[in-house]
Amino acid sequence: MFFVFKPEATDNQRERLLAELREQDMTALAVAGNGSRAFALVGPNSAMEKLALDRHPLIEEVVREKAPYKRASRGLHPDDTLVKLGGVAVGADRFVVIAGPCAVESAVQIDAAAAAVAAAGAHALRGGAYKPRTSPYSFQGRGPEALRLLAATSERYGLPVVTEILDAADLPGFMQCAAALQIGARNMQNYTLLRAAGKSGMPVVLKRGLSATLEELLLSAEYILNEGNNNVILCERGIRTFENATRNTLDLNAVAWLKRNTHLPVLVDPSHGTGIAELVAPLAKAAAAVGADGLLIEVHPSPAEALSDGRQSLSPEAFARLMRELRPYVEASGRHL
Ligand code: PEP
Ligand code: MN
């Protein structure tokens, strides 16, 4: 349930009602972006109904909302949230493309990748320093050295950086080089990491878990929002289904559903969503057409030699072609590149 105080309610009157709610085991959460008059009420349903807030003299409006996520809901926050990635706003009219290699491998590789994606018109650079690999024997990322390379590359090409964090202890290094933290599919429900990312105040790209429902995704977002950090960008990256012709099944239902039910921006990652480079362009176009706010795409200067996710990585040429072909789909959904 959400409620909104009347504008004439004084601070004292409001404080008294909030204290009364606390005494009855209910918590009123101020809804961000809506001034301090709007609150989400969390607690036992029966107790909330008994309060009859609809008829309370200090209350202007009550909205009944069954969803367990409160701050992420469009309920009392109908306007889209914009999240700044360096100088670029995600969630506004611009369709934002974040591109780069799965992992930072070397100075030469990240420079070539950044040069290619910048020339093709990408708005931000991706690249993992710490890689969450299924096997402990696979390439794990270059760690702090990769963060240093990302910082230098970001500066050289004027591209804000999005990079995945696995451990909250590494936050200081990320704060120096990244415009946004990526929380990957495997960590979508790492609540300690979500809270730490929330406390950092940094923009967060939160990827949907391998088998997570959309409600679970929004509840994970809620952990970040609940720390007072509204800079959350969601990312659909494919889910596990019975289908094994592709690495994952890119759930474009999710985009349409999320755009209706949350005010947070939504990206699509067709690279992990399909696992097959040849399928990235068609699904990227579909993502633009269905109303996504942007894309997260893997691009490698030489995909065949990539240390991770080469099979799904676009070459610089394929990425440049995609950027040219994307425009009509982006424009059809009322945005620009
Ligand atoms: C990635 O972006 O390289 C990655 C590991 O993604 P995900 O968490 O979606 O698997
Ligand atoms: Mn990858």
Compute the distance between CA of residue 64 and CA of residue 165 in angstroms, rounded to an integer: 36
**What stretches of the chain show up as alpha helix (H) in DSSP?**
11-23, 45-50, 107-120, 144-157, 171-177, 191-200, 214-225, 252-261, 270-274, 277-290, 316-332
Q: What are phi and psi of 123, to 5 degrees?
A: -100, -20
Are 126 and 32 contained in the same domain?
Answer: no
Are 127 and 248 contained in the same domain?
Answer: yes
What atom of ligand 1 comes closest to residue 185's alpha carbon?
Answer: 8
What atom of ligand 1 comes closest to residue 103's alpha carbon?
Answer: 3
Q: What is the pLDDT along the chain (337 residues), one digit of tens a residue?
A: 889 999 999 989 999 999 999 998 898 888 755 567 888 888 887 788 888 898 999 999 998 878 889 899 997 788 999 999 999 999 999 999 999 999 999 999 999 999 999 999 999 999 999 999 999 999 999 999 999 999 999 999 999 999 999 999 999 999 999 999 999 999 999 999 999 999 999 999 999 999 999 999 999 999 999 999 999 999 999 999 999 999 999 999 999 999 999 999 999 999 999 999 999 999 999 999 999 999 999 999 999 999 999 999 999 999 999 999 999 999 999 999 9
Number of domains into which the chain is organized:
2
Are 7 and 120 contained in the same domain?
Answer: no
> Would you say 271 and 312 are in contact if contact means Cβ atoms under 8 Å apart?
yes
Q: How far is the CA of 152 from the centre of ligand 1 (A)?
A: 23
Three-class DSSP category at 48: helix
Are 222 and 136 contained in the same domain?
Answer: yes
What are the angstrom distances between the C-alpha of 157 and each of 80, 123, 125, 134, 160?
29, 10, 9, 32, 9
Say what the pTM is: 0.94
Residue 72 placed within a domain: no
Are 196 and 259 contained in the same domain?
Answer: yes
Q: How far is the CA of 18 from the centre of ligand 1 (A)?
A: 42
What atom of ligand 1 comes closest to residue 187's alpha carbon?
Answer: 8
Query: Nearest residue CA, atom 9 of ligand 1?
Result: 185
Are 18 and 167 contained in the same domain?
Answer: no
